A and B are shown apart, each in its own frame.
Chain A
Amino acid sequence: MSRLGTIARRSFLFGSVAIAGGVALGVWYLRSPGTNPLRPEPDETTLNPFVLIDGNGVTLIAPRAEMGQGTQTTWAALIAEEMDLAWDQVQVLHGPPAQAYYNSALMAENAPGPAYGKSAFQHAVGEALGTLGKPLRMQVTGGSTAMKDGFERMRAAGAAAREMLKAAAAARLDTDPGLLTTENGAVIGPDGQRFPYTELAEEARGHAPREVLLRDPSEWNLLGKPLPRLDMVRKATGTAQYSIDVRPEGLRFAALRMSPRRAGMLRFDAEAAEQMAGVEKIVDLGDGVAVIATNTWLAQQAVDAIEIDWAPAPYPETTDAILAEIEAAFDRAPDSTLLDRGDPDSLPDGASEISAEYRVPFLAHATMEPLNATAHVTAEGLKIWSGNQLPTFTRSACADAAGLPERRVTVHTTLMGGGFGRRGELDFSVLATRVAAALPGTPVMTTWSREEDMRRDFYRPAAIARMRGAVKDGEAVLFDAAVAAPSTARQALERWMGFAPPGPDKVHVEGLWNQPYAIPNARARGHIAPELKVPVGFWRSVGNSYNGFFHESFLDEMAHAAGADPLAFRIALADRAWRPAARVLEAVREMSGWPEKPEGTGRGVAMCFSFGTPVACVIEVAESDGGIRIPRAWMAADVGVALDPGILDQQLVGGLVYGLSAAIMGEITFADGMAEQENFYDYDALRLPQMPEVETRILETQRWISGIGEPGTPPAAPALANALFDLTGTRHRTLPLNRAVSFAA
């Protein structure tokens, strides 16, 4: 087992977690995050792993994947706020893979109990569990965790750097640092003397403080308002560099084909390809073939000319057979029953029962930038340029692939043209390493065609839900849900670490068992299809992406069965469970003017709690000559602390679009063991003419800061399906909706 696997296994054996002491308000005791991985050049100084200063200015390290969600901008703002940097002075870099950059929030998701309405104790348990990320070297961007992770840690890193710089200036002036202030990247002396950080950095190094005081939000200058994103000018001028854009000297371009049946290669014939223009090398990868050429397109032409026989798929060959295996999981004992309240087996006296079955398909990530990475194998070691969400794991996997120790592998994590979970995988970096290893001394970029990207995805799993509920006197009295699917978490953790921790798969049932609705008798069971080997992976909002649809569509059915208004029905249930959930519903009620609506339109509502954030959404649909249109949508989210309202709005809208695209038209089907869709003509997404006008509102009433990259996605599908029901009276229980409904183009 890899070193990583050994550490991980040991770490998961901790039976209990000790929680020590409390933390005085605002004071942050500094624990070293680990060895500083930054290797400053002679004229540079690092004050901690997140702050690098040279003669030209201050560079902040935001070691999280920037895949569009704005994380590097807000991460840098957290540090800059406490350092008193002017925004136009801030530069940001991703930095190298390092334990110091572990994610302290990801493992916290494993704390017991639903995540809403956490007490200080539950929060502390989560924080303690989060420290497991460090021995696991879990430098991962995912689970909408960046702001939970960085909110205190990065302000503390900025404050510590500021205090060090003040101490250096105080030493120069032979005075008390308490008499000094900071502004716009400089320490200001008692008589107004100005010491730019760039001049103090070297002297500041010896002055690391043991504790720092974090500023009250009322004193914030950068946080809390929309800042210009640090990547915006580059992205508007074509100068942003994604991994597909790196051009090291002497670069060659490769295309590859791996098995669309996700198994071995039986034979191939590359005779024709060898003769084609630009071809420099055919690489037999054993389980696939690559062509290295002088141009990506010439490489693609040549690789497509290779005849290949693929071994049979290790899973059923057709969608129907796969779904039958998923359905059979209902006959197995549940993997989890995380919600079991009251007496869900009996029907309360005088209540009326309803039940329904729901289905959703496999989905592709379809990031805008097709998967790619560049590798350069030399006598010194391996360099890799890869837009990835897990740099430490990427480094160890590529080191293994190249047969090198990790210390001889350099990973450059670039900007990403979308991630949505797909770039939290290792395959594209490892394959680029294997291809480049065939041409040592030459950097080789391996770019997947769109077809390869779609056929070789780790899909959002198809899932089936069996729902049962009961209402009485206009209220919900019973909710009993069961969901069946293959386990994404187990497959993904196997790929990351070589093993999956035992215990119930929480991710599989997230969005089903932990929703803030006070229904007296309630149960949620998760059934896993354990043998199903269709490759599945984390897809924006993961389990919530299907459970949100099941939960919120069925709750709508219950509201109608109760003869209640679906929004009022939800507010009443949420109000008794957790006020912030009721508040986001009240917000969309007010924003949309519910229950009033224009003639000829239908409206639907959904509220999903995911990644710590309740999001409510109202969607409006209307008939038109061309089919159903979606004129408007309203969304409200409570994130506890709104660090950048502009980015929060982008993420809510972006999450909605991602969810609507899937709900309306997203579907991967299988035939002959292969995904049948291959490009945007048969796996399309929402286009500008179909885009509703969206109004968003951010609330800050819940106690803890929460995530935003994913929570906008889950309510999209149910709000849309509920709106269609309102308009047409037809209940849609199967996605995608365009199988039954014609939408305007």
Chain B
Amino acid sequence: MIQDNAASVIGGAMIKMGKHRESSYSGLAAPAALGALRDAGITKDEVGAVFCGHAFGGMLTGQRIVKELGIGDVPVTNVDNACSGGATAVHLAVRAIEDGHCDIALVIGVDKLTQFGGGTLPLVQEDPEVQNGIVMPAVYAMRARRFLHERDATVEDLAAVSVKARRHGAANPYAQFQSEVTVEQVLDSRPIADPLTLMQCCPTGDGAAAVVLMSERERKRRGAQGMRAAASVLHSGQFEAGFRDMLRPEISYHSARDAYEAAGFGPEDLDVVELHDAFTIAELVYYEALGLCEPGESVGLLRDGRTAYGGDVVVNPSGGLLSKGHPVGASGVAQVVEALWHLTDRAGARQVENAQRALTHVTGGGIAGLDHGACTIHLFERTA
């Protein structure tokens, strides 16, 4: 029995991810927001609250976007949570509906990284690790180095993550990269932070995505279809001054544990996973954190094709961040849109057949003493 105040995603849209230097934040996000409303079959006047995730949009980004649609006089909340900003906005919308604050919420995720002219994500200079020269690729590169040291794994295994991602992305018209690559091409691309090469890092990009969430009572009344948020979990990292096992990021483990407990189903029930593959190593580490396999088994899972089409669960059918790029605040919402398309049989050439349940996962932010600053996990189930 689904509660009247349960939240479901009933509409979504995104723009093509890529380098859109000519677009403003509104220019990126307004088409996605309007697309989500139309997809949900609602009008602008029915939106009861807006949540906008972004990291670099500046003050009142959400208001700048929704005024273009004539949405006003409702609470608009802007959220920064680095790579989890968009998914945090989804989380807040789920909570707002569950807590009875509104029946229909619009969520927007947007960011424009080309404004920084390329290179690594700008980090906050107040952090001591940043002062010592840390960049995001280096965080993951050090994780990769330790992974190669502790596991029976090679750089070819890392490259295989990019090969799978780009193969999936080749079928996704919304991806920035729509071409396949080989292990050799990945390893021969220029070094970024050893052992990670350029093609093992998500490209700089701009993007926006939007979803409409609705209470169960309202959804039933309208007969709208979509996917129910069976779990919506947000965690922050725990500071640790000493040893930390970089192959077991506690923030993702804890978030996944709580999400499965809330949903009442587990990793073995998933058909689609969109996880945070900002760098190749991340996917291997997160297979284990999300319970898709036992700790130590992630390389075998990938090698055996169990996370690709025809396997146990399709991980990153969109091509992931490695194909789409990672416009920080947009990514978490874009994952939810991808999940919605699969759970409503609208994913086109990349449709995961008969997909019933999906997981989306974003985590990130580089802070000294933390795995990551934030992690958001959502579990979705096709509405009956």
Q: Do A and B belong to a common assembly?
A: no
- Interface residues, chain A, with chain B CB atoms under 8 Å away: none
